[in-house]
Every structure is written in C-alpha cells, then in structure tokens.
Amino acid sequence: MILKYINTENKFYNIKQVAKEHFGMSDRLISKLKNKKLIFLNNEIAYINHVLSLNDIIEFNLEYPEESDNIVPIFQNLNILFEDECFIIVNKPPFMPIHPSENHYTDSLANGIRYYFKTINLNKKIRPLNRLDKDTSGICIFAKNEYIQENLIKQMNNNIFQKKYLAILDGILDKKEGTINAPISRKENSIIEREINFKSGKTAITDFKVIKEAQSYSLVEFELHTGRTHQIRVHSKFIGHPILGDSLYSYPCKFINRQALHAYKISFIHPITKSKMNIETKLPSDMEKLF
C-alpha cells in the first residue's frame, strides 16, 4: 500500500505535517519510514522536514517486508467475510485460539492467516485487531500493515469501532435492555479469571438487549464500550445470568460444549476510503439450534 497526497491547497508546511495531520501517522511509523527511505516527494526520496510547494506529490510506501517467522504457516479453510489491501476479516470457528501458544503451536487462527498471506505474497506481520477467547466464535479482523493497525486502534480507543456480540444467557432477564457499568479486575491468585471489583477494577461498560427467549435461557445482544478481558462473560455473571456453557464463570451445559458467545458484527470507518464498514455474520449452528 502506498499513501499518496497531492498538495493542491498548500495546507501543510512540510512532509511531517502531511504524515501526522492528514494521515494521522504515529511518530514511530514516521521514524520507521524515514529510516527505510520510503518517503517520497515527486518520486524522489525526501526528508521528513522538507518544505512543500504547491502541487507537490508526497508518497509513503508501506509495502516493506516484515518477518513473521515465529508463526508457522498452516493451511486452514478460512471463512473470509471481507478483504482488501488494508485488512482481512474472517469468521473464526469456536475452539480455535487467535495466537499460537505452547499447546496450540500450529492450530491458531494466526497460523491460517500466515499461510494465506504467503499464498498472496504478502510478507507482513500478523496483526489481529480484536482478540476473541479460544471458545468464542465470530468476526476477527487482521490489519495488513502498521498504518491500518494504528488507525483502527485509534477508532477503538475513541469508541468509533463498534463491536457487537450475541450470547445465550442462563435464565430469563427481568430487564430486557440496559447498560452494565461495573469495573473489572483480575481475580486474586488467578492468571485467567476476572471479577467485578468496585475498588480497584478498570472501567467496563456493556450495553445489552434481549433478542429472543426460550423457556430457560435468552439470546442477548451485547455492545462493548470498553475492551476488558472476559468483559461480557463477567458482566453476564454479575447480573445473575451467566453465559450458557461458560465453565469458568458458571458451569458446563448439556446443550453446548463451550460458552455460547459469538462476535457477530463490527462497524468502523475505512481508514482509506472513509466509508462506513458494516460486517456481520450469522449465529453458528451450535448456538442457532437452541432457538
């Protein structure tokens, strides 16, 4: 990807202003492009502080190769929901971690993305933007370069990037929609488990809305306004209706052999085209069959 700007309005004094104010680049990325000599003015390598003239053409080349040797490329039948030169969005099945680990060295989603990148000759790092638990299914987005990653992280931090989930909760909720505002912290003496802690927890805000009900459980839509680990799982337990099958925050369930949680929709502004992106996927079969 090459970012291009033509100085038709003479708005910016130098190239650095174009990078920071027009494209919103971080100092880190600007420094990297400068050191790699990938900043161009009228097709010639340029200094970042070069003073601009009217109709100058500035280009930032983001196509430099990167290493991902720590991730083994393994073929997977990826369910690709959307792809362009900026990012790839896939529907992750349950029971698959995002990242490789000691027990999942070759069967993570990152392994499949790494393999796919090799088939399209894209030598870039694996950059997941939203991280789902291993047993949570649904939408995952991977940036194809550092600039896109930075842009989407900014949108997440500014609550522009919206993430919605569907979960099946144990029981029937008295209140059919609302907001859960309860701070979350790591549970004492536990590496994995989180809990509500009004003294030392970090702000966690989740909107919820009941979509459908059965005799003993409810399909609920959640929208995250913060990104705490296990946020929906902890908040569901907090309101007295844990997620069906969540063995960490509730108990195993005979109807489903994982937590019934699915990341079904994301909305954000495309970093290049500036158009609104809405990506959605259906409930997986193990959750859908319960309704």
Active-site residue (options: 69, 107, 133, 207): 133
244: left (phi over 0), alpha (psi -120 to 50) or beta: beta
| Helix axis angle, 27-35 to 146-157, nearest 10° | 170
Q: Which two tokens stand for residue 154?
A: 């900014």
Q: What is the DSSP letter of 243?
A: B
Residue 133: active-site member? yes
Residues 184 and 237 sit within 8 Å (Cβ to Cβ): no
For residue 192, the number of C-alpha atoms closer than 13 Å in the C-beta half-sphere is 6
Residues 187 and 195 sit within 8 Å (Cβ to Cβ): yes
How far is the C-alpha of 115 from the C-alpha of 119, rounded, in Å? Answer: 7
User: Which residue type does 65 have?
Assistant: P
β strands within 93-193, DSSP E: 127-128, 137-143, 162-170, 177-181, 184-186
- Which residues, in sequence order, are bridge partners of residue 221? 166, 209
Residues 6+ apart with CB under 8 A from 231: 184, 204, 206, 224
Give catalytic residues, as residue numbers.
133
